[in-house]
Amino acid sequence: MEIIVQSDAEHATELAARIISTRIRERPTLVLGLATGRTMERIYERLADMHRNGLDFSGCSSFNLDEYIGLEPDDPNSYRATMQRLLFDHVNFAPGRTHVPDGHATDIKRAARDYEAAIRAAGGIGLQLLGIGETGHIGFNEPLSALMSRTRDKTLTPRTREQNAPLFGGNPDAVPKRALTMGVGTILEAEEILLVATGPAKAEILARAFEGPLTASISASALQLHPRCRVIADEAAAARLANRSYYDFVFFNEPEWERYRDSGFIN
C-alpha cells in the first residue's frame, strides 16, 4: 500500500483523475470499478473534461460498487441516476457497458449473484476506485462485513445514513436502510485499487484503517492485504497519520510517481 498526500481536495482528486486516465490510455479496454459519494464528484467532472480533450471510454466498461435498495430506478438519489448525471452522460462508454447493482430487483439475492457473474464475464475489475465512509466502509460494507464477503444486501449504520443525509434533503430517515453492495472479497479481487479521501471528517478513520490492525470492524482495513492499493488523501484527511513523512518520501522518490510530481502537485 502507498499513501499519497496532496495539499487539498482539488489536488487529490486531480491526481486520482490523472491516474485513471493514464490507465485507460494504457489499456483502452479497462474494466473500471466506480464509486459514488461527494469525494468522487470532482473526479468525474475532471474525467468528463478529459473526455472532451480526447480520453476515450468506448472500449471500457464499468461496475459500480453499490446501490440503495428500494429507490425507484429513476429516483435522482439512486446511484444509477447519480452516475448518469455525473459521468455516464458526459463520456462515451458503449451502450450497456456501465453496470450498477439492481437495488430495485424483486429478487435481491439473485441480482447479487448476477452482478458477480457479470464482473467475472467482463474479465474482472482492472482498476477499482473507492471512497471511504466515516464508519470505515468501502462500498456499503459496514462494520463486521466478512473480509471474504461477496455482493449482497447490507443494512446501513445510522452513522452512514446521517453522513449521506445531505444528499436526501438533510433528513437521515429519508436515506434507505439497506443497500446492495459488492463484498469486501469482491473488491479485493480488483487488479489495482485507488482510494480517495478528503476533508477532516475522514482523518480518524483513515489512520485507523491503514495504520491500525486489520479488522472486520473497519472494512477498509482489508485493503492492507491488497498488493496494489494506493490511497490518495488531502492534508485534512491525512492529519492523523503517524508515518506521514515516509509517505511523502515515497511519493518524491518512487520512480512510478515521477510523472505526477509536476508543479501542480506540490505539498
Footprint of ligand GLP (CB under 6 A)? 35-39, 65-66, 131-133, 139-140, 160, 164
Least separation in angstroms between CB 140 and ligand GLP: 5
Least separation in angstroms between CB 78 and ligand GLP: 12
Phi, psi torsion values for 179, nearest 5 degrees: -145, 160
Least separation in angstroms between CB 127 and ligand GLP: 15
Closer Cβ to ligand GLP, 237 or 248, answer by number: 237
Task: Find, among 174, 199, 182, 53, the residue nearest to 130 by Cα.
Answer: 182
Output the nine-digit C-alpha cell for 167: 444528499
Least separation in angstroms between CB 263 and ligand GLP: 27
DSSP code of residue 93: P
Q: Let me know how long the chain is.
A: 267
User: CA separation (Å) from 203 to 36, 88, 131, 198, 226?
Assistant: 19, 30, 13, 8, 21
Closer Cβ to ligand GLP, 65 or 125, answer by number: 65
Task: Find, among 233, 256, 139, 255, the residue nearest to 186 by Cα.
Answer: 139
Q: How many CA atoms lie within 13 A of 265 on its CB side?
A: 21
Closer Cβ to ligand GLP, 31 or 130, answer by number: 130
Closer Cβ to ligand GLP, 100 or 241, answer by number: 100
Closer Cβ to ligand GLP, 12 or 35, answer by number: 35
Output the nine-digit C-alpha cell for 58: 468506448
Least separation in angstroms between CB 184 and ligand GLP: 12
Alpha-carbon distance 100 to 96, whole Å? 11
